[in-house]
Each structure stands twice: as structure tokens, then as C-alpha cells.
Amino acid sequence: MKKIVVLFSGNGTNLENIAKKLHKKHLLITKAITNNPHAKGIERAKRLGIEVEIIDHKKFTSREEFDKALIEVIKKEAPNLIVLAGFMRILTPLFIKTFPTTINIHPSLLPLFKGANALERSFKSPMKVAGVTVHWVEEELDGGEIIDQACLYKKGLKFEEFKEKIHELEYELYPKVILEILQKE
Ligand code: GRF
């Protein structure tokens, strides 16, 4: 079975969704790694039998040093693909060079609303459609090549409804794209 490593920082619902749909059925999540010792996703992952490793970025003097520790841990797993799921650290060129097969999911129709608070900015924009994007991770934040997208009509939605629908799109799209990439490998 192909192997993936998932990186997360917070709630971990995408990690949970990927684990429920794919782990041990279509692939192995050999490890989930978080930079945040208080991430809610830690419990979610453990409940599903996924091994979690905490690499607290605050213990490192620079982004590069943190990435070196991350690289060391990931190399041992020898994953076919690295999946960012709500991972809130900007990765250095060293990481990207070491692992060019890293993907991310972003809650907007890129190239619109790159960076932080994309969900809120997408909601507040005058646009009538919104969506989610899966892309390769490259040096520019949320600027890597787009792999796939899904969209919705947002006119009339309240923020909470909007947020829920965006997450539903993520839960459909991300596992599908992960499998597509692994099948092509
Ligand atoms: C998702 O909306 C994802 O698009 C963004 O961060 C959020 C993570 O949510 N990159 P969760 O931690 O998976 O619940």
C-alpha cells in the first residue's frame, strides 16, 4: 500500500476525514505530525489509530531548524506523498526541495484569497461563488500549481452555513485528489 504523512496544526477534521475514508483501505497514514502540542487533531488521529508525532516549532530557533527536524522524521517514513491539512507553518525552500511531492488544501478558489483568513475573506467578497483548491506546495504561499478545485454558489448563505459547505467540499475533494495522485505514481 502507498504511504502518506499528514501535517496539521489545529482541529484536524480533514485529517480525520482522510483517515476514515482511506486509511488501511486505500493507503496507509504512517504518521501524522503537528507543530502544535495543543492541536485538537491529536485526539482525533489517536482515536483512529494513527500515530502522532509532535514537533513543537517554538522549540526551534528558526524556520529552517524546525524544517530540518520535520524532514528527519518524514524521511524515516519514506512516504509517497505528504499531505498538508490545516498546517499553519510556512515551509522553507529546503523542505520543498527535499519533498517536492507535497500537497495542500486551501479554502478558496485560488489564485484568489491566498494566505490567512481565506474563508472569511472569500465569504465577505462580493463574489457569488466560492470554493476550495488542492495544489502542489511551492515556494510562494498558496501559489503552487493547482491540481483540482470544487466550488459552490454562496449567494444568501450565512457565514456558518458557508463554512460548513466549504468543509464538505474539502472532505469530498481532498481524498479524491490524494487517490488520483497515488494511482498515477
Ligand atoms: C481547512 O479549511 C483547510 O482548507 C485549511 O485549514 C483548514 C483546516 O481545518 N488549510 P481542519 O484542521 O482540517 O479541521
pLDDT of residue 70: 98
pLDDT digits (tens, 9 = 90+) for 130-165: 999 999 999 999 999 999 999 999 999 999 999 999
CATH for 3-105+133-146+169-184, options being 3.40.50.300, 3.40.50.170, 2.40.50.140, 3.40.50.880: 3.40.50.170
pLDDT of residue 52: 98
Nearest residue by C-alpha to atom 7 in ligand 1: 86
Q: How far apart are CA 52 and CA 65, in angstroms?
A: 20
The residue to mutate among 48, 83, 105, 133, having the most atoms of ligand 1 within 8 angstroms of its beta carbon, is 105
User: Is 10 a pocket residue for ligand 1 (Cβ < 6 Å)?
Assistant: yes
Q: Determine if the pTM surpasses 0.85.
A: yes
Predicted local confidence at residue 104, as pLDDT: 98
Count of C-beta atoms within a 10 Å radius of residue 14:
22
What pLDDT does residue 185 have? 81
The Å distance, Cα 36 to ligand 1 centre, comes to 14
| Per-domain residue ranges of the chain | 3-105+133-146+169-184
CB contact set of 88 (below 8 Å; sequence gap of 6+): 9, 10, 35, 36
Distance, CA 170 to ligand 1 centroid (Å)?
8
Answer yes or no: 106 catalytic.
Answer: yes
* One pLDDT digit (tens) per residue for the chain, 185 residues: 999 999 999 999 999 999 999 999 999 999 999 999 999 999 999 999 999 999 999 999 999 999 999 999 999 999 999 999 999 999 999 999 999 999 999 999 999 999 999 999 999 999 999 999 999 999 999 999 999 999 999 999 999 999 999 999 999 999 999 999 999 98
- Quote the pLDDT of residue 35: 98
Counting beta carbons within 10 angstroms of the beta carbon of residue 15, is it exposed (0 to 12), middle (13 to 18) or buried (19 or more)? Answer: buried
